Amino acid sequence: MQKNNSVIGQERIQKKLKQRYRAEKRFRRLGLFAVITALSFLAILLISISSKGYTAFQQTYIKLEIPLSHEILDVKNLANADYPGLVKASLRQMFPDVKGRRDKRKLYGLVSTGAAFELQDRIIEDPTLIGEKISMWVPASSDVDMFMKGQIPKNVSENERRIKDNEIEWIDWLQQEERIEKRFNTVFFTAGDSRDPELSGIRGALSGSIFTLFITLLLSFPIGAATAVYLEEFAPKNKWTDLIEVNINNLAAVPSIVFGLLGLAVFINFFGLPRSVPLVGGLVLTLMTLPTIIIAGRAALKAVPPSIREAALGVGASPMQTVLHHVLPLAMPGMLTGTIIGMAQALGETAPLLMIGMVAFIVDVPGSFTDPSTVLPVQIFLWADSPERGFMERTSAAIMVLLVFLITMNAVAIFLRKRFERRW
């Protein structure tokens, strides 16, 4: 009887075993599926962004021959000379057959309005050029650029494309003469915002982001770490600390725009700090990231085994020495992870910056914490909202820059974490 029972038991176990293995396989497949799905979405995102954006790293240039006559350029009054006129004259010279106002306007539209600015800069830098005939490469207008990159199809009827037939003829001629070519788009990395896609660059927003995040990191990490250490290691456990804890947890879930409102009320209206500057942006983002850093920091401190604290106290370390020499170094990787999550959030934030005026058109590249500036996600938003077609590729390119920035930031954090990380 007993033997029978154990045989039946074994059979049941065998039967159940198969089921258990099946369940295990299902679970693993589900996990694998989830990972693959996530990865493929990521791949789709990256591919679609980079396939749209890579063209922005190239820009079409046109070579102009410009005679710099003394009549037009007065050495004493170089700032007010008619540089656009010089550019236009040069274009007319290249295409002497173009007649009529409408066609001439189109002809002038081949090169960017930035061409005149470049000419101006060059002459002011070296006034000895006046009297000579110079040849220079100037950026083509956005429409020509789009056409050269194949984003305006040739084989549709004329009124369905922004580049008309006669313009295509001109471009073809330029190509024959090797006066038009695509080059690496340095402007994109050296210029600030512009309303002309071909003159716009990411540098202003990038500098703004760097300044803003620098302030955020400088303030939020020490304050966050200190708060976490105090709450976790020193504060008595009572109603008040409980209340603080609940509040910090709630703050982490507050919509970021609320921090923008707070920043507007406190930093701008009360302290009178200027609008649209990275300093205020950094302060607002500090408020936003602090809860994340504090919560992550406390979790990291909690994860440090109590035996380490006991060991330190046991040899007579004071509570502060215990924390600074032993607990904090062990919690540092976790704290850094929390900080980097917070910083990544801050990097991608636009809503709170709207309230403090950082969603703005700013051409000049900011040079300090109190220069008006914008940040990368805001730049992306502004470009995505611009009517000019050329901004579409810039938008994708800006997203690429933002992602590279993010990856760099994460890489630095991982590097730091590896250096701090110790086994126990």
Partner 1 sequence: MESIMDIEGATLADNISMTLEQQAMASDQEAIKKKTIVSREDRRTVGEIYTEDPRMTCRNVNVHYGDNHAIIDANIDIGRNEVLAMIGPSGCGKSTFLRCLNRMNDTVEGCRVTGEITLDGQDIHGKNIDVVPLRAQIGMVFQKPNPFPKSIFDNVAYGPKIHGLASNKSDLEEIVETSLQKAGLWEEVKDRLNLPGTGLSGGQQQRLCIARAIAVSPEVILMDEPCSALDPIATARIEELIAELRKQYSIVIVTHSMQQAARVSGRTAYFHLGDLIEVGETERVFTNPRHQLTEDYITGRFG
Partner 2 sequence: MLKKTAALAAAAIIAVSAGTASAARDYINIVGSSTVYPFATVVAEQFGKTTHFKTPKIESTGSGGGMKLFCAGVGVEHPDITNASRRIKKSEFDKCQGNGVTDILEVKIGYDGIVLANSKKSSPMKLSRKDIFLALAKDIPDPSGAEKLIPNPHQTWHDVNPALPNIKIEVLGPPPTSGTRDAFVELVMEGGGKKIGWIKAMKKKDKKAYKRICHTVREDGAYIEAGENDNLIVQKLNANPNAIGIFGFSFLDQNSDVIQGSIVDGVEPTFEAIADGQYPVSRPLYFYAKKAHIGMVPGLSEYLNEFSSEKAWGEEGYLTDRGMIPMPDSERKQMRNDVKTLRNLEM
By CB under 8 A, name the binding residues for partner 1: 237, 305, 307-319, 321, 325-326, 329-330, 422-424
Binding partner selected for residue 363 from partner 2, partner 1, none, CB under the kind-specific 5 to 8 Å limit: partner 2
Site string for partner 2, 199-238 (x = CB under 8 A): ----------------x--xx-xx--x-------------
Residue type at position 7: V
Establish if 130 lies at the interface with partner 2 (CB under 8 A): no
Which DSSP symbol is given to 178?
Answer: T
Q: Which of 275, 321, 348, 414 binds partner 2 (CB under 8 A)?
A: 275
Q: Which of 155, 385, 422, 423 binds partner 2 (CB under 8 A)?
A: 385
Torsion sign over Cα 365, 370, 373, 377: positive
**Number of Cβ within a 10 Å radius of residue 127:** 12
Q: What is the dihedral of CA 335, 340, 343, 348, to 10 degrees?
A: -150
CB of 219 to partner 2, least distance (A): 6
CB of 222 to partner 2, least distance (A): 5
SS3 readout for 75-108? HHHHHHCCHHHHHHHHHHHHCCCCCCHHHHHHHH
* Rg value, the chain, Cα: 31
The residue assigned the tokens 């073809």 is 172
Measured CA angle at 219 (ends 216, 215), to 5 deg: 40
CB of 310 to partner 1, least distance (A): 6
Site string for partner 2, 301-340 (x = CB under 8 A): ----------------------------------------
Q: Which stretch binds partner 2 (CB under 8 A): 188-196, 235-243, 296-304, 340-348?
A: 188-196
Task: Please list, in sequence order, all residues whose beta carbon lies within 8 angstroms of the beta carbon of residue 252, skipping any fewer than 6 positions away.
Answer: 291, 292, 295
Binding partner selected for residue 189 from partner 1, partner 2, none, CB under the kind-specific 5 to 8 Å limit: none
d(CA 394, CA 381): 11
Establish if 97 lies at the interface with partner 2 (CB under 8 A): no
Q: Which of 263, 333, 334, 357 binds partner 2 (CB under 8 A)?
A: 357
| 363: nearest Cα among 121, 119, 114 | 114
Establish if 79 lies at the interface with partner 2 (CB under 8 A): yes
Binding partner selected for residue 317 from partner 2, partner 1, none, CB under the kind-specific 5 to 8 Å limit: partner 1
CB of 245 to partner 1, least distance (A): 15
d(CA 317, CA 219): 29
Which DSSP symbol is given to 385?
Answer: T
CB of 378 to partner 2, least distance (A): 10
Half-sphere exposure of 184 (CA within 13 A, CB side): 3
| 139: nearest Cα among 194, 216, 75, 203 | 194
Binding partner selected for residue 423 from partner 1, partner 2, none, CB under the kind-specific 5 to 8 Å limit: partner 1
Instruction: Choose between 40 and 368: whose C-beta lies nearer to partner 2.
Output: 368
Tell me how far apart the terminal alpha carbons of the chain are, to the nearest angstrom.
Answer: 54
CB of 316 to partner 1, least distance (A): 4
- Joined together, the tokens standing for residue 235 give 């504060």
| 164: nearest Cα among 105, 113, 93 | 105
CB of 128 to partner 2, least distance (A): 22
Residue 298, SS3 per DSSP? helix
Site size toward partner 2 (CB under 8 A) is 44
CB of 304 to partner 1, least distance (A): 10
Binding partner selected for residue 312 from partner 2, partner 1, none, CB under the kind-specific 5 to 8 Å limit: partner 1
Residue 327, SS3 per DSSP? helix
CB of 318 to partner 1, least distance (A): 5
Binding partner selected for residue 359 from partner 2, partner 1, none, CB under the kind-specific 5 to 8 Å limit: partner 2
Which stretches of the chain bind partner 2, using CB under 8 A? 79, 105, 113, 117, 152, 156, 160-162, 194-196, 215, 218-219, 221-222, 225, 268, 271-277, 279, 357, 359-364, 369-370, 372, 384-389, 392
